[in-house]
Amino acid sequence: MSFYTPVAEIPKIVAELRESFQQGVALEIPYRKKQLLALARMCTDNEEQFAEALKKDLNKPKAESVLFDIRFVAGEVARLLEHIDEWATAEAPTVPLLNKLDGNRLVRDPLGVVLVIGAWNFPLMVSLCPMAGAIAAGNTVIVKPSELASHTAQLLSKLLPAYLDPKAYRVVNGGISETSALLEQRFDSICYTGGGAVAKIIMKAAANHLTPVLLELGGKNPVYVAEDADLAIAARRILWGRLLNAGQTCLSPDYVLIDKKLQPAFLEAARAALNEFYGPDPKASPDLSRIINDAHWKRLSALLTSGTVAIGGQTDAATRYIAPTILVDVPHDAPVMQNEVFGPILPIINVSSIDEAIKFITSRDKPLATYLFTRNSKLQDEFLKRTSSGSTCVNDTILQGGVHGLPFGGVGASGMGSYHGKYSFEAFSHLRAVVYKNPGMEIVNTIRYPPYSDKKISW
Ligand code: NAD
């Protein structure tokens, strides 16, 4: 592809960024702030252009691009700027009385050269939010956006050098060959967002250099709808979460667990919600994204036979359209229940109690998110105690990912490590323990020097 970075240039780019790091180019706090401001300005100055690129890549509605990609990055940068002085300041730790004679400090060191590998679904957010955290922590950064969102990747590689210092921050474009060439190099941290299969390749490559990894993956995020839930509200919030970016969202509710006797009312509420969001013909709505490419469209079309289509089911290959679809009578081992759906298809699985729902959830990989619709605080507590997931949102979906002050990340198969705000600063820095000893007072040190004697340990 013409916009890909030549593979032969990749080692040189990494070497340049390492040299810049060694020279302390990215270290000083005023410099970091200037670069962060420039990153936010890049997003806001070019909002229209980014929205157009996202429209070309995913037919993303402008409102979704602005709120969940472009301004999300600007918001994350604002939070980092607000707190960078506080987070970068060395702390005085609490130490035992004896050690108080010394100076003790906790210092936040940058890690070095950070590689950020992004996915295509929210291509700005998943590339630039980790990048912002790595800049705030004083690292030099290479960002490798997903080649599948090609218009956004190209625009990013054009704009980033115009706003940020190319001595410290670079974009490398490409697919498997270019990413593999990057992974041969030594980095000090790699943040990867994408699927679990590639995450294993990333982690193996990182192991060659003992490079720490931050893995932001996906999973099948369950929603349990309890008997006391307001079904109209549950249906709207679940379908909004399922259909944001046509379901190509890592935090998307993946399937619904609900008692069979509630199913007809839930479906009724779902039909009303879909009509409200997209009108009688969702294909004609400007507010529904399309599937990223033909391969994913084919994969999703095949999943439509995993159960009985209760709502939707229409497809159009030419425009990579899949209608918002709800499947019922879905066998537990149906293809749609094997892997993350990552599309606008919502299977319903019937369970007769919270115990059955929890058993179903915990017999599978730990998801990135779990969702629960109930006002019953005992049920909420029980659900939290007996399940594990990257995050949980009670009585809504997806929104926990945007709450300032909360970490964002998975657990088990859904990821490793977390970021956003302070958690990014921590993820891309090392907490160095520093002790300042008094160069005098040698007499008190003689106890630890040889020759040893029983007297020296008789206290
Ligand atoms: P993708 O195909 O864009 O791949 C992600 C990155 O990996 C890309 O930059 C790509 O170039 C690179 N890559 C692909 N194959 C590679 C290989 N063989 N070797 C080296 N690099 C390679 O994205 P995807 O994997 O389809 O992303 C979708 C997944 O990402 C879903 O599971 C989704 O849930 C997850 N996701 C997670 C988050 C999160 O923050 N947790 C956010 C978005 C997406």
- Measured CA distances, 254 to 205, 284, 356 (Å): 30, 24, 18
Q: What is the mean predicted confidence (pLDDT) over 355-370?
A: 98
Nearest to 411 by CA among 366, 359, 369, 371: 366
Q: Percentage of the chain surpassing pLDDT 70?
A: 100
The whole-number pLDDT of residue 443 equals 87
- Measured CA distances, 81 to 30, 133, 180, 408 (Å): 10, 10, 33, 19
Q: Which two structure tokens, joined as six digits, stand for 229?
A: 């839930």
Q: In the structure, what pLDDT confidence band is assigned to residue 428 with cuts at 50, 70 and 90? A: very high
Query: Tens digits of per-residue pLDDT, 37-78?
Result: 999 999 999 999 999 999 999 999 999 999 999 999 999 999
Q: Tokens 């399940």, residue?
A: 387
Q: What is the DSSP string of 188-246?
A: SEEEEES-HHHHHHHHHHHHTTT--EEEE-----EEEE-TTS-HHHHHHHHHHHHHGGG
Q: Percentage of the chain surpassing pLDDT 90?
A: 94
Q: Tokens 């990494």, residue?
A: 14
The whole-number pLDDT of residue 278 equals 97
Q: What share of the chain is helix, strand, coil (3-state, %, to 5)?
A: 50, 15, 35
The whole-number pLDDT of residue 247 equals 98
The whole-number pLDDT of residue 62 equals 97
Q: Is 301 helix (H, G, I), strand (E, B) or coil?
A: helix
Q: In the structure, what pLDDT confidence band is assigned to residue 426 with cuts at 50, 70 and 90? A: very high
The whole-number pLDDT of residue 58 equals 96
Residue 192 confidence (pLDDT) above 80: yes
Query: Tens digits of per-residue pLDDT, 85-97?
Result: 999 998 889 999 8
Which one of 250, 340, 393, 426 is the catalytic residue? 250
Residue 293 confidence (pLDDT) above 80: yes
203 in contact with ligand 1, CB cutoff 6 A:
no
Residue 249 confidence (pLDDT) above 80: yes
What is the number of residues in the chain? Answer: 459
The minimum-distance atom of ligand 1 relative to the CA of 122 is: 43
Q: What is the C-alpha separation between 64 and 245, in angstroms, rounded?
A: 7
Q: What is the mean predicted confidence (pLDDT) over 93-116?
A: 93
Residue 3 confidence (pLDDT) above 90: yes
Of 178, 193, 368, which is best to mutate to test ligand 1, by the most ligand atoms within 8 angstroms of its C-beta? 193
Contacts 24+ apart (CB under 8 A), 68-72: 68/122, 68/125, 68/244, 68/245, 68/402, 69/122, 69/123, 69/124, 69/125, 70/43, 70/44, 70/124, 71/43, 71/44, 71/47, 72/122, 72/124, 72/125, 72/129, 72/402
Contacts 24+ apart (CB under 8 A), 196-204: 196/413, 202/117
Of 146, 215, 248, which is best to mutate to test ligand 1, by the most ligand atoms within 8 angstroms of its C-beta? 146
Residue 100 confidence (pLDDT) above 90: no
Q: Which two structure tokens, joined as six digits, stand for 362?
A: 């915990």
Complex ipTM: 0.96
179 in contact with ligand 1, CB cutoff 6 A:
yes
253 in contact with ligand 1, CB cutoff 6 A:
no
Residue 377 confidence (pLDDT) above 80: yes
Q: What is the mean predicted confidence (pLDDT) over 395-412?
A: 97
Q: What is the C-alpha separation between 81 and 336, in angstroms, rounded?
A: 43
Q: In the structure, what pLDDT confidence band is assigned to residue 205 with cuts at 50, 70 and 90? A: very high
The minimum-distance atom of ligand 1 relative to the CA of 401 is: 40
176 in contact with ligand 1, CB cutoff 6 A:
yes
Which one of 216, 340, 393, 426 is the catalytic residue? 216
Q: What is the mean predicted confidence (pLDDT) over 241-256?
A: 98
Strands 255-258 and 222-225 come out as parallel
118 CA → ligand 1 middle, Å:
7
DSSP state letter for 91: B
453 CA → ligand 1 middle, Å:
61
Residue 35 confidence (pLDDT) above 90: yes
Nearest to 72 by CA among 43, 46, 113: 43
Q: What is the mean predicted confidence (pLDDT) over 251-269?
A: 98
Strands 418-419 and 222-225 come out as unpaired
Residue 315 confidence (pLDDT) above 90: yes
Of 217, 249, 424, which is best to mutate to test ligand 1, by the most ligand atoms within 8 angstroms of its C-beta? 217
Give yes or no: 216 in active site. yes
368 in contact with ligand 1, CB cutoff 6 A:
yes
Residue 125 confidence (pLDDT) above 80: yes
Average pLDDT, the chain: 97
The whole-number pLDDT of residue 150 equals 97
Q: In the structure, what pLDDT confidence band is assigned to residue 397 with cuts at 50, 70 and 90? A: very high
Query: Tens digits of per-residue pLDDT, 178-187?
Result: 999 999 999 9
Q: In the structure, what pLDDT confidence band is assigned to residue 1 with cuts at 50, 70 and 90? A: confident
198 CA → ligand 1 middle, Å:
7
The whole-number pLDDT of residue 445 equals 87
Residue 2 confidence (pLDDT) above 90: no
Q: Is 392 exposed, middle or buried (0-12, 13-18, 19+ CB in 10 A)?
A: middle
190 in contact with ligand 1, CB cutoff 6 A:
no
The minimum-distance atom of ligand 1 relative to the CA of 144 is: 9
Ligand 1, atom 40: closest residue by C-alpha: 216
148 CA → ligand 1 middle, Å:
10
pLDDT: which is higher, 458 or 166:
166
311 in contact with ligand 1, CB cutoff 6 A:
no
List, in order, residues 6 or more apart from 258 with CB less than 8 Å away.
Answer: 224, 225, 266, 348, 349, 350, 351
Q: What is the mean predicted confidence (pLDDT) over 12-29?
A: 98
